[in-house]
Chains A and B, each alone.
Chain A
Amino acid sequence: MATVIIPTPLRKFTNNTARLEIEADTIAKTVSALTVNFPDLKKHLLDDRGQIRSFVNIFVGNDDIRNLEQEDTFVAPDAIISIVPAIAGGAIVNVAVTGCLLPVTRT
Chain B
Amino acid sequence: MSNQITFSKEELARYNRHIIIPEFGLAAQQKLKAAKVLVVGSGGLGSPVLLYLAAAGIGTIGIVDFDVVDDSNLQRQVLFGVNEIGKPKVEAAKQRLQVLNPHIEFVLYNTQLTSQNALDIIKDYDVVADGTDNFPTRYLVNDACVLLGKPNVYASIFQFEGQVSVFNYRHANGELGPNYRDLYPTPPPPGLVPSCAEGGVLGVLPGIIGSLQALEVIKVVTGVGEPLVGRFYIFDALSFESRTFNISRRDDNPLNGKNPTITTLIDYEQFCGVKAVETPVKEITVKELYELQVKGEPFQLIDVREPYEYEIVNIGAELIPLAAVAEHAGDISKDKPVIVHCKMGGRSAKAIRELEEKFGFTNLYNLKGGILAYIDEVKPELTKY
- Contacts known (A62-B243, A89-B157, A93-B190); A8 close to B349, Cβ less than 8 A: no
B156-A63 in contact (CB<8A):
no
Enumerate chain B residues within 8 angstroms of A90, measured Cβ to Cβ: 44, 133, 157-159, 199-201
B339-360, CB under 8 A of A: which get 1 and which 0?
0000011111111010000000
What is the bound-complex CA distance between A54 and B272, given in angstroms? Answer: 13
A101-B189 in contact (CB<8A):
yes
A95-B195 in contact (CB<8A):
yes
- Does B132 sit within 8 A of A, measured CB to CB? yes
Q: How many A-B residue pairs have CB under 8 A?
A: 169
A93-B195 in contact (CB<8A):
yes
Q: Chain B: interface residue count, which band?
A: 35 or more
B346-A96 in contact (CB<8A):
yes
With beta carbons under 8 angstroms apart, the residue of A5, A66, A87, A101 that contacts B163 is A87
What is the bound-complex CA distance between A66 and B247, given in angstroms? Answer: 9
Residue of A nearest to B353 (CB): A96
- Contacts known (A67-B246, A107-B252); A87 close to B189, Cβ less than 8 A: no
Taking the closest CB of chain A, its distance from the CB of B47, in whole angstroms, is 13
Taking the closest CB of chain A, its distance from the CB of B75, in whole angstroms, is 10
- Contacts known (A101-B273, A107-B252); A89 close to B156, Cβ less than 8 A: yes
Q: Which of B172-222 contact A (CB under 8 A)?
A: 183-196, 198-201
Q: Which of B48-56, B95-103, B231-239, B312-320 contacts A (4 or more CB under 8 A)?
A: B231-239
Enumerate chain B residues within 8 angstroms of A97, measured Cβ to Cβ: 278, 345-346, 349
Q: Which of A20-28, A31-39, A69-77, A78-86 contacts B (4 or more CB under 8 A)?
A: A78-86
What is the bound-complex CA distance between A62 and B193, given in angstroms? Answer: 26
- Does B138 sit within 8 A of A, measured CB to CB? yes
- Contacts known (A55-B184, A59-B245); A88 close to B161, Cβ less than 8 A: no
Enumerate chain B residues within 8 angstroms of A105, measured Cβ to Cβ: 186
Enumerate chain A residues within 8 angstroms of B274, measured Cβ to Cβ: 93, 98-99
Taking the closest CB of chain B, its distance from the CB of A99, in whole angstroms, is 3
What is the bound-complex CA distance between A95 and B135, given in angstroms? Answer: 13
Enumerate chain A residues within 8 angstroms of B252, measured Cβ to Cβ: 107
A92-B344 in contact (CB<8A):
yes
B133-A89 in contact (CB<8A):
yes
What is the bound-complex CA distance between A104 and B188, given in angstroms? Answer: 8
A62-B195 in contact (CB<8A):
no
- Does B250 sit within 8 A of A, measured CB to CB? yes
Enumerate chain A residues within 8 angstroms of B276, measured Cβ to Cβ: 98-100, 102
Enumerate chain B residues within 8 angstroms of A15, measured Cβ to Cβ: none
With beta carbons under 8 angstroms apart, the residue of B159, B187, B350 that contacts A95 is B350
B190-A9 in contact (CB<8A):
no
What is the bound-complex CA distance between A96 and B345, given in angstroms? Answer: 8
A93-B244 in contact (CB<8A):
no
Enumerate chain B residues within 8 angstroms of A9, measured Cβ to Cβ: 158-159, 161, 194
What is the bound-complex CA distance between A90 and B67, given in angstroms? Answer: 14
- Does A18 sit within 8 A of B, measured CB to CB? yes
A95-B243 in contact (CB<8A):
no
Enumerate chain A residues within 8 angstroms of B186, measured Cβ to Cβ: 54-55, 102, 104-105
B188-A53 in contact (CB<8A):
yes
A8-B248 in contact (CB<8A):
no
Name B's A-contacting residues (CB within 8 A): 43-45, 132-135, 138, 156-161, 163, 183-196, 198-201, 232, 234, 236, 238-239, 241, 243-248, 250, 252, 272-276, 278, 344-351, 353
Q: List 7 A-B contacts (CB under 8 A).
A: A63-B245, A86-B135, A86-B183, A86-B188, A100-B190, A102-B187, A107-B185
**Extra A-B contacts (15), CB below 8 Å, given A91-B199, A100-B190:** A55-B185, A64-B248, A82-B245, A86-B187, A88-B156, A91-B133, A93-B193, A95-B190, A96-B347, A96-B349, A98-B275, A99-B191, A99-B274, A104-B189, A106-B185
